[in-house]
Copies of this chain bind each other. A is one copy, B any other.
Amino acid sequence: MEITVEDAKFWKNCIDAVVNLIDEGILEVKADGVSLKAMDPSQIAMVAFSVPKKAFVEYKVEESEKLGLNFENLAKFLSRAREKEKLKMESADNRLGLDFIGTSNRSFTIPLLDLSAGPQKEPKIDFDVTVKVNGGAFKEILRDATLVSSHLVLEAGSKGFFVEAKGDAADMREAVEAEVDAKKDARATFPLQFLDDIARACPSDANITLYLKTNAPIKMEYAIGDASLVYYLAPRIEPA
């Protein structure tokens, strides 16, 4: 395979959205695009990442390939992307080549890993509420909440979208500006660190869509350019 993105920083942002949650995983390169499904090491969260072929300026994929990658290592090199550099990726001899093409030509090659994990299935949940909220605003809420607790209650329904946190030093409640579409009210509690890991790579001017059901996992979805990021996160079931 040999695939090229016009803007190396776009690819950096995509991989950041993955590495915030998982350390290693299998990137599948197929005829129609690139994708990844992986659980975080604690099995509390899942990411499904996909980029269609059209997001690449060059896309030579003769047969499907599974690239076992240490995403932390990959992200480290992608962080060296400069403005207006293209990025060509090619696999050969059990290594992935990263060619940054700009005023100077820079090549890194990193080892591919032999990872056994098969493809993960996305959970099927019949959600009750859909909340569309600005990514930047949602990240600010998470920052507010970290001052209060390690967990955040998300509540959405006919009255709007609310977040709540309770702690020793303070309690917090926010009414958040959002587009809410509800069959039924929903309320669930999630670990703040995971919400933060998931939302961190969302562009501040993009929307995040949240799918909620009482005491069920949350589905969170956003786009980075042509790339789609979908996450699932298990709730904390509060003692009755």
A: residues with CB less than 8 A from B are: 70, 73, 76-77, 80, 82, 103-111, 137, 140, 143-144, 147-148, 169-177
Contact B103 A177 (CB under 8 A): yes
CB-CB under 8 A for A147 and B76, given A109-B171, A169-B110: yes
Q: Is the CB of A106 within 8 A of B171?
A: no
- CB–CB B104/A148 < 8 A: no
Q: Please tell me if the beta carbons of B76 and A174 are within 8 angstroms of each other in the complex.
A: no
Could you say how many copies of this chain the assembly holds? 3
Q: B144 and A177: CB pair below 8 A?
A: no
Closest-CB distance, A160 to chain B (whole angstroms)? 10
A77: chain B residues at CB < 8 Å are: 147, 170
Task: Return chain B residues, CB-CB under 8 Å to A148.
Answer: 108
CA distance A169 to B74 in the complex (A): 9
Cα distance A173–B105 in the bound complex, in angstroms: 8
Known A76-B147, A77-B147: A110·B176 in contact at CB below 8 Å = no
Identity of the chain B residue whose Cβ is nearest the Cβ of A169 in the assembled complex? B73
Contact B175 A80, beta carbon cutoff 8 Å:
no
Q: Is the CB of A147 within 8 A of B106?
A: no
- Interchain residue pairs with CB less than 8 A apart (14): A70-B169, A73-B170, A76-B147, A77-B170, A82-B140, A104-B175, A104-B176, A104-B177, A108-B144, A108-B172, A109-B171, A110-B170, A111-B169, A111-B170
A174 to chain B, nearest CB (A): 4
A149–B143 Cα distance when bound, in Å, is 36
CA–CA, A105 and B144, complex, Å = 12
Q: How far is the CA of A106 from the CA of B111 in the complex (A)?
A: 48
Q: In the bound complex, do residue B105 and residue A170 qualify as a contact, i.e. CB atoms below 8 Å apart?
A: no
- A107 contacts B73, CB within 8 Å? no
Q: Please give me the residue from chain B that is nearest to A178 by CB atom.
A: B104
- Name the B residues within 8 Å of A105 (CB-CB): 174-175
The residues of B that contact A110 with a CB separation of less than 8 Å are 169-170
B170 touches A80 (CB 8 A): no
**Chain B residue nearest in CB terms to A110:** B170
Taking CB atoms, residues of chain B closer than 8 Å to A82 are 140
